[in-house]
Structure 1
């Protein structure tokens, strides 16, 4: 497989400045390379049923950074675009390949 697309896995973190103001920022927890793919026809129809358009599948090598990721507090940064993660799958629980389904933010 060609993992030729650079991407970043980012998680939200709460930061407090010197004045005590709290803000939420994105921190990169993993940089890697992936193979990107659009959904197959069956998956495309399923995504359309929930109006999830511009859905991308990302295939990458396993890394411990993907363990326990809360998809509500994480995103993928790819080609300058923020992608919402809808699911993360450790294929066969073998710790070899990760498949993420992501939606392009609009």
Structure 2
């Protein structure tokens, strides 16, 4: 893996339950890990759902293998890139060689 290709800083966020001062439980995203990654984007695709045209932005992030990155799952984590949140749809461990991990992500609709 070429280190010079890891040129974009991303933040990995973990879903956590927080309790406020009066005891209400809320889901929130807290920073889990921050690292450099390679980004390959597939922009411009559109999907039609319920007579609406919705832009589907999917991005692949490739990052170096480490223990924190190896613990990532598609249900409990999210990627923040350029101030925008992306849901992880798939985690690929690249043949389990422990060199890099690829995250397939989709932009969160607000």
Show structure 2 runs of 5+ residues with no match.
48-53
Structure (1/2) with the larger strand percentage: 2
Q: RMSD of aligned C-alpha atoms?
A: 2.6
Structure (1/2) with the larger helix percentage: 1
- Structure 1 length as normaliser, TM-score? 0.81
- Equivalences for 1:1-106 in 2 at 5 Å? 1=2, 2-39=5-42, 53-106=56-109
The residue matched to 2:98 in structure 1 has which SS?
coil
Show structure 1 runs of 5+ residues with no match.
40-44
How far, CA to CA, are the matches of 1:36 and 1:6 in structure 2?
A: 10
- Structure 2 length as normaliser, TM-score? 0.78
